[in-house]
Amino acid sequence: MDQYELELKRALERCGPGSDFTARVMSQIRSERSLAADETSKKIASFPRWRSGVWRWAAVGAVAASLTLGFVVDQRRSEHRARIAEAELYETLLLAGEKISQARAEVIGVRYEGGAQ
């Protein structure tokens, strides 16, 4: 290192800030922290009730219960409709059976009459 570089080194020697520098930084940190804490508490205060844990679970429960109830009611309705359809089918089959036996009897009657002649 030559004379010129030594001079440069001396010229750029470290120096310190004002004596209250640390205190000022700390007070700024404290005020920033308290500001952040205030904002957090404001956020908590303005947080909608339904978004808190209990209310959220209550909402989920209500939705699940209504879905289950809907499903049960729908199933009952389907069963009822199936029973009606079954009864109608049975009745139809009975009527068809009756008609078939009636027709069969008529056919037999016609054949019998034809044979007698």
Q: Cα separations (Å) of 104 from 70, 92, 109, 110?
A: 50, 18, 8, 10
Considering the complex, what minimum distance in angstroms separates the CB of residue 2 from other proteins?
10
Q: Largest alpha-carbon pair distance within the chain?
A: 154
Among the listed residues 8, 93, 95, 96, the single contact to other proteins using CB under 8 A: 8
Among the listed residues 18, 53, 114, 115, the single contact to other proteins using CB under 8 A: 18
Distance in angstroms (rounded) separating the CA atoms of residues 47 and 54: 13
Touching other proteins, residues 31-60 (CB under 8 A): 32-33
29 interacts with other proteins by CB under 8 A: yes
Residue type, 13: E
4 interacts with other proteins by CB under 8 A: yes
The pair of three-digit structure tokens given for residue 71, joined into one six-digit string: 């499903």
13 interacts with other proteins by CB under 8 A: yes
Q: Is 41 strand, coil or helix?
A: helix
User: Binding residues for other proteins, per CB under 8 A?
Assistant: 4-5, 7-18, 21-22, 24-26, 28-30, 32-33
